[in-house]
């Protein structure tokens, strides 16, 4: 802090020389910015050029004075800055040290060594000073190592690539924003990907390993939202966007093959079709109010193996499978048996609407007879309009993406395939969690509502 006599001497010399730089060169004090401030206050007008910037060292010194208890107005008067600017410096310095005050182009240079008697009494401030000195020391060590590897490196003018190498070596100890600010490089220029080989440990190592584990545990069939949820359940803090990045870096790509032309059960207008009562509103307020059904085909790669067909009954309340039948022929027995099994779970008075496409299985006497005996109401999509049964088609899509596509089924016979398919359908009902159900399986969701034992 300058005495009133020192200020008067500087202002008097300025009046004689008329040049701020000449006064600073003559007296050795204060800084040009400070002298501009003294002149502005004395003359009642701001004469400091707008282009003049305060170095990080001067900002840090002003911030330390305010943090040690000096008046913000007094400090602002000494350095020739506004009180609001000094307050911003104080807050930035308190949060991130001198690195947070550095502008692009500021050089990495240690500040003057303070005398023991000038050290602040505040323990937090002393800690910040120690960390700042430690950062400066570690930076200089890394620059020296860089010069040892390449004598052509100029330590006073590091390129962005060289600065990135320094940052990579120190990211295990310091944050990217702190290092980038200290070295005068924008963080986006460096990137936020994994460290290059030979650098500091990856701070996402635990999350990275967990991402791969959960992805593989789900059979490489679930996306980033599922993986993010599983990491949260394990207590690993990692945002959805970061999970997507880690999955991409680790090659965790869900394999969805192009859907082949779907097999059709349409057999012509064998009987009068009932009206479409659903009109694409696939919602139900309680179980056993609205069921969907259809038949899908699985073609195994081995020659001689028959195709496998699945006929499920899907409850629109929560997506639970009320029943299913699996066989090697898409006949009426396959469709009828799945409906009969679903009806076995109905309570007295329950008579859901059963919605299907216009396949022949749902227009033959056997199917119609089951519906009439159980009091079920039939509903059908329009001819050739798969969106009218979109919820069931969506189930088939998830099933094939998570269970069938992207797997090597060579050497698996029809009987073994049907056994595995049946196991997956049970997993779907009892274990597979869904975001729409609050990340619960259909069975657990019903249990939480008191709808299942």
Model confidence pLDDT, tens digit, residues 162-195 = 777 888 788 767 777 677 767 766 555 454 444 4
SS3 192: coil
In a domain, 262, yes or no: no
pLDDT digits (tens, 9 = 90+) for 399-434: 999 999 888 899 999 999 999 999 999 999 999 999
Is this model's pTM higher than 0.85 or not?
no
Residues 426, 348 within the same domain: yes
Half-sphere exposure of 103 (CA within 13 A, CB side): 9
Work out the pLDDT band at 70, boundaries 50, 70, 90.
Answer: confident
Same domain, 317 and 439: yes
Supply the range of the domain harboring residue 227. Answer: 205-249
Query: Please, what is the average pLDDT of the chain?
Result: 78
Same domain, 441 and 295: yes
Instruction: Tell me the DSSP string of 266-294.
Output: -----SPPPP-SSTT----SSTTSEEEE-
According to DSSP, the residues that pair with 324 across neighbouring strands are 312
- 13 and 149 in a common domain: no
Q: Establish if 95 belongs to a structural domain.
A: yes
List beta partners, residue 380.
356
174 and 226 fall within a common domain: no
Task: Give yes or no: residues 310 and 443 share one domain.
Answer: yes
For residue 133, is it within any domain? yes
CATH of the domain at 378: 3.30.420.10
Pairing of β 296-298 and β 321-327: unpaired
Q: Is position 275 within any domain?
A: no
Phi-psi label, residue 202: left if phi above 0, alpha if psi -120 to 50, beta otherwise: beta
pLDDT at 326: 95
Does residue 337 share a domain with residue 232? no
- pLDDT at residue 423, as a whole number: 94
Span 250-276, pLDDT tens digits: 778 875 544 454 555 544 555 577 888
| Tens digits of residue pLDDT in 327-372 | 999 888 999 999 999 999 898 889 999 998 888 788 888 888 999 9
Where is pLDDT greater, at 119 or 448?
A: 448
User: Is the same domain home to 11 and 140?
Assistant: no
198 in a structural domain: no
302 and 401, same domain (yes or no): yes
Instruction: Tell me the pairing of strands 290-293 and 353-356.
Output: parallel
Q: How many CA atoms lie within 13 A of 23 on its CB side?
A: 25
**Residues 184, 209 share a domain:** no
35-44 pLDDT, tens digit per residue, is 777 777 776 6
pLDDT at 307 over 70: yes
Q: Please, which pLDDT band fits residue 128 given cuts at 50, 70 and 90?
A: low
Measured CA to CA, the distance from residue 42 to residue 1 in angstroms comes to 18
Average pLDDT value for residue range 131-159: 74
- Is 274 domain-assigned? no
Q: pLDDT tens-digit profile of 336-348?
A: 999 999 999 898 8
pLDDT in tens, 21-69: 777 777 777 787 777 777 777 766 444 444 456 777 788 888 877 776 6
Give domain status of residue 268, yes or no: no
Task: Using the Cα atoms of residue 399, residue 405, residue 406 and residue 408 in order, give the sign of their dihedral.
Answer: positive
Q: Into how many domains does the chain fold?
A: 4
The domain boundary residue, chosen from 161, 190, 219: 190
pLDDT value of position 453? 58
> Is residue 280 a part of any domain in this protein?
no
Q: Are residues 39 and 139 in the same domain?
A: no
How far apart, in whole angstroms, are the C-alpha atoms of residue 34 and residue 52? 11
State whether 29 and 173 are in the same domain.
no
**382-395 burial string, b = 16+ CB within 10 Å, else e?**
eeeeeebbbbbbeb
Rg of the Cα atoms in the chain: 37
Coil vs helix vs strand at 311: strand
């Amino acid at each position: 802090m300058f005495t009133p006599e020192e200020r008067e001497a500087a202002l008097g010399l300025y009046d004689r020389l008329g040049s701020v730089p000449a006064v600073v060169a003559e007296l050795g004090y204060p800084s040009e910015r400070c002298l501009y401030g003294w002149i502005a206050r004395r003359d009642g007008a701001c004469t400091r050029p707008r282009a003049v910037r305060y170095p990080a060292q001067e900002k840090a010194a002003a911030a330390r004075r305010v943090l040690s208890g000096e008046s913000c107005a007094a400090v602002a008067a000494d350095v020739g800055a506004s009180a609001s600017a000094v307050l911003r410096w104080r807050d930035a310095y308190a949060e991130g040290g001198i690195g947070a005050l550095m502008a692009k182009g500021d050089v990495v240079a240690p500040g003057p060594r303070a005398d023991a008697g000038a050290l602040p009494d505040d323990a937090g401030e002393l800690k910040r000073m120690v960390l700042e000195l430690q950062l400066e020391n570690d930076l200089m060590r890394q620059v020296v190592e860089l010069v040892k590897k390449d004598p052509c490196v100029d330590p006073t003018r590091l390129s962005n690539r060289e600065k990135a190498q320094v940052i990579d070596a120190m990211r295990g100890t310091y944050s990217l924003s702190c290092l980038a600010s200290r070295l005068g490089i924008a963080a986006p220029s460096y990137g936020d990907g994994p460290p290059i080989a030979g650098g500091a440990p990856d701070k996402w190592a635990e999350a990275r390993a967990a991402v791969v584990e959960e992805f593989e545990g789900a059979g490489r069939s679930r996306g980033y939202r599922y993986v993010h949820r599983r990491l949260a359940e394990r207590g690993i803090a990692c945002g959805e966007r970061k999970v997507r990045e880690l999955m991409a870096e680790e090659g965790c790509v869900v394999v969805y093959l192009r859907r082949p032309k779907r097999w059709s059960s349409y057999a012509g207008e064998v009987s009068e079709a009932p009206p479409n009562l659903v009109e694409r509103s696939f919602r139900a307020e309680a179980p056993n109010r609205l069921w969907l059904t259809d038949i899908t085909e699985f073609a195994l790669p081995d020659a001689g193996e028959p195709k496998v067909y699945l006929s499920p009954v899907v409850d629109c309340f929560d997506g639970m499978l009320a029943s299913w039948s699996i066989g090697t022929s898409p006949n009426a027995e396959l469709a009828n048996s799945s409906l009969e099994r679903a009806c076995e779970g109905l309570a007295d008075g329950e008579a859901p609407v059963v919605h299907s496409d216009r396949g022949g299985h749902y227009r033959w006497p056997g199917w119609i007879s089951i519906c009439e005996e159980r009091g079920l109401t039939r509903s059908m999509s329009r001819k050739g309009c798969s969106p009218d049964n979109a919820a069931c088609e969506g189930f088939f899509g998830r099933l094939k993406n998570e269970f069938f596509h992207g797997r090597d089924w060579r050497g698996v016979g029809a009987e073994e395939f049907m056994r595995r398919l049946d196991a997956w359908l049970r997993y779907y009902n009892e274990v597979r969690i869904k975001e729409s159900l609050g990340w619960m399986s259909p069975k657990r969701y019903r249990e939480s509502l008191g709808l299942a034992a």
